[in-house]
Amino acid sequence: MMIFVDVLFVVRNCVQGMGKPMLPMASGILEMFLRIFVISFLMSRLGFKATAYAEIAAWVGALAVNAFALHKYLAPLLMTEGSESKENEMIIHGRWRRKLHGTF
């Protein structure tokens, strides 16, 4: 389950680096509310295990918000018109190496 928090850190930093600091902050607030919500409902049934489930729920919720933001702001940058779009398409599909080595 640690993969969620690893991906969350990368995606959150990407969104912040794109100049959108409010979205990662909002996802941090969402994490707090998800932890409170999950613990309040599961603590009586699961005991301490509820805290582990609360962490996972918080990470997945924050990752969803940040991944949506990353897709919303990164996709238009990758799909710009002109010669840049061909280069971006080559980067996305992994053909940039062939162009750099002259075998494109």
Q: Tell me the C-alpha distance between 88 and 68, whole Å.
A: 20
Using alpha carbons, select from 62, 1, 74 the residue that is nearest to residue 26.
62
Is it the case that residue 84 has pLDDT exceeding 70? no
pTM higher than the cut 0.75:
no
Nearest Cα to 87, choosing from 100, 74, 76? 100
Per-residue pLDDT of 38-74, as tens digits, reads 999 999 999 999 999 999 899 889 889 888 888 888 7
Domain ranges of the chain: 2-71
Q: Is the pLDDT at 96 greater than 50, yes or no? A: no
